Amino acid sequence: MSTKEIAGKAIEFDADGYMADYKQWDQQVAEALASDIGITLTDAHWKVINFCRTDYEAQGDAPTLRRITTVGGVPTKDLYQLFPKGPAKKVAYVAGLKKPSGCI
């Protein structure tokens, strides 16, 4: 567990480097986290992020990439373009969720 100042807020991170409490998250935090990993958020990114947060609240786990595609309606190709080289983990990171545990 560590605390870092993100967008003017003291945010706690877990041992994996993901936000420890997804309730500390807001839009400014997401933008700062995204810029940390070289991503500038567009509406297409927000669609994915919002789906992931809603799904996390309902399911208690960060959605798998396949779930973002089949339930969230975002094609695989788009996910790899929006969050290159590691889309599932990068989305979870920016959305303030725990590291995803799914294999797909």
Partner 1 sequence: MFEDKERKLCIICSKGTLDMAYPGLILANAALMEGIDVTLFFTFWGLDIINKKKMNHLKFVPIGNPSMPIPNSVGGLPGMTNVATAVMKREIAKLDFPGVQEFLDMIADAGGMLYACKMSVDMFHDMHMMNTEDIYERVEGVVGATDFMEMSEDAQIIFI
Q: Is the dihedral of CA 65, 68, 63, 43 positive or negative?
A: positive
> What distance in Å separates the CA atoms of residue 36 and residue 28, rounded to the nearest whole number?
12
Q: Is residue 103 flagged as an active site residue?
A: yes
Chain positions contacting partner 1, by CB under 8 A:
17, 36-37, 64-67, 69-70, 75-77, 80, 84-90, 93, 103-104
Q: Name the β-bridge partners of 3.
A: 12
SS3 5: strand
Phi first, then psi: give them for residue 2, nearest 5 degrees.
-145, 160
**CB nearer partner 1, residue 53 or residue 100:** 100
**CB nearer partner 1, residue 72 or residue 87:** 87
> What distance in Å separates the CA atoms of residue 5 and residue 45, rounded to the nearest whole number?
23
- Distance of closest approach, residue 80 Cβ to partner 1, in angstroms: 5
Residues identified as active-site? 103
